[in-house]
Structure 1
Amino acid sequence: KDGDEYNDGTIMDPNNGKVYKCYIELDGPNKLDVRGYIGFSLLGRTQTWTRVD
């Protein structure tokens, strides 16, 4: 953890069961940017998760 960033984690894709490296960053009180990748973070995909009240 570095401030609002989390590095060197893992995340699983529930559709295929594969596990990927991940990088997570808190973007304000209601948004979370989650990046899953293989090898280098350039080879991945980012999703923004938004809190629902």
Structure 2
Amino acid sequence: MRPKAKAALHICAAVWIVAGMLCYCYTFTRDFYVANRHAIHALLERIGR
């Protein structure tokens, strides 16, 4: 394999991993927020006032 092709493959792999992690984090955060929305809002109200 040529060095440039190898570098491109590594870049693609890195981007794929980062994108996957972002999607996973987004899904987890969204589900966590939906499940604990009332508790989070109560906490924010307490902090805000």
> TM-score, normalised to structure 1's length?
0.15
More helix, by proportion? 2
Structure number, greater radius of gyration:
2
More strand, by proportion? 1
> TM-score, normalised to structure 2's length?
0.15
